[in-house]
Amino acid sequence: MAVIRPMIVSNIKRMVIGRLYKRLPLIAGHKLLYSCNLRCKMCPFWRRKDEKLLTLEEEVLMLKNLEKAGVIFMGFEGGEPLLRRDLPQILEESYKMFYTSLVTNGWLLKDKIKEISDFIDYLFVSLDGIGETHDKLRGVSGSFDRAIEGIKKAREMGIRTAISFTITNENLDQVDEVVRLVEKLGVVLSVQVAYDYSTAEKLSPSREKLKGVLERLLEYKRSGKPIIQSQMYFKALLNSWYYNSPWECKPWLTINIDPQGRIVLPCYVLNEYSGDKRVWEVDLIKLWNEYPWHQYSSCNKCGLSCYIEPSLFSWKNYVMVKERILEPMLSYLTSF
């Protein structure tokens, strides 16, 4: 039950550090590599050539510095993380310090899941439609079936699993089918809206059609469907993108690190995941409290929940506390 330590002990650490500093990163996302075995249309990262990747020792050094800075949630992604042979060792080190999650395309999951199952709190499997729709978006035939096999294997092993669904102009008509699939598999749904990177195909959904999909997802959430995002997340997108009522983005709550350990500033999308300073070569807390974050508070360009959800969260909002804190912890504790 590794969740107890980061959720309680690490929160106490954050409270202590927070008495001295206004801004601390809460969530960390780290691309372990750019290489991938799929060729997703909307993804720019597999198109990049990997530099020399971090060693296990450097990964641990990065993790320790993130912990000192107040990070509680650690997410690993790629590229395809399961391509790294040292992934189990990296996850094991992370699991000692953080609530640890992994994002995978699922192709290798069935064969690799046993190696990592003891070191992840949450598994996200990317699935962007049903059958051929997913395969077309992912660029490799059979990727849908391989992902489903991996999801079933993860569930057999009792791993908390989510389908990560990116809404594009090629799959938004399958949202209802994806929700039904999630319920059938006994997992949950995490959604995001495709962002048009300069080096990938432009697949963001049309404004008119997206509105209806967001409204339907909000109703699904209200009715109790297994969707990770909060009601406030969908309301924020609708209010900002359609009713001229933006949310205040707080990008400093999330820190992203590229495959060489470099910090991505100011956020995941604005500079398209380009890093500069390595985590262990800077005073991270000092950097976080001197960086001009105010320039980006009204951005609202992306629909990434790793930025929107922490930006929206308030202890004064009972619905959000219930959805983001109480229900997930109860679900986790009763799963044993």
Contact in structure between 238 and 213 (CB atoms under 8 Å): no
Length reported for the chain: 336
Q: Are strands 73-77 and 188-193 parallel, antiparallel or unpaired?
A: unpaired
Structure tokens at 100: 């640890």
Q: How many structural domains comprise the chain? A: 1
Q: What CATH number has the domain bearing residue 60? A: 3.20.20.70
- Whether 235 is covered by a domain: the verdict is yes
- Whether 1 is covered by a domain: the verdict is no
Residue numbers of the domain that contains 255: 22-333
Residue pLDDT, tens place only, 91-145: 999 999 999 999 999 999 999 999 999 999 999 999 999 999 999 999 999 999 9
Amino acid at 284: L
129 three-class SS: coil
- Whether 225 is covered by a domain: the verdict is yes
Q: Which one-letter DSSP state was computed for residue 283?
A: -
- Whether 4 is covered by a domain: the verdict is no
- Whether 206 is covered by a domain: the verdict is yes
Residue pLDDT, tens place only, 251-290: 999 999 999 999 999 999 999 999 989 999 999 999 999 9
User: In Å, how far are 217, 253, 254, 295 from 292, measured between CA atoms?
Assistant: 34, 14, 15, 6
Contact in structure between 150 and 187 (CB atoms under 8 Å): no
- Whether 8 is covered by a domain: the verdict is no
> Measured between alpha carbons, how far is 123 from 102 in angstroms, rounded to an integer?
5
Question: Which segments of the chain have a pLDDT < 70?
Answer: 1-11, 16, 18, 314-336
- Whether 150 is covered by a domain: the verdict is yes
Phi, psi of 238 (to 5 degrees): -65, -45
pLDDT of residue 5: 56
Phi, psi of 123 (to 5 degrees): -115, 130
> Measured between alpha carbons, how far is 16 from 177 in angstroms, rounded to an integer?
46
Amino acid at 154: A
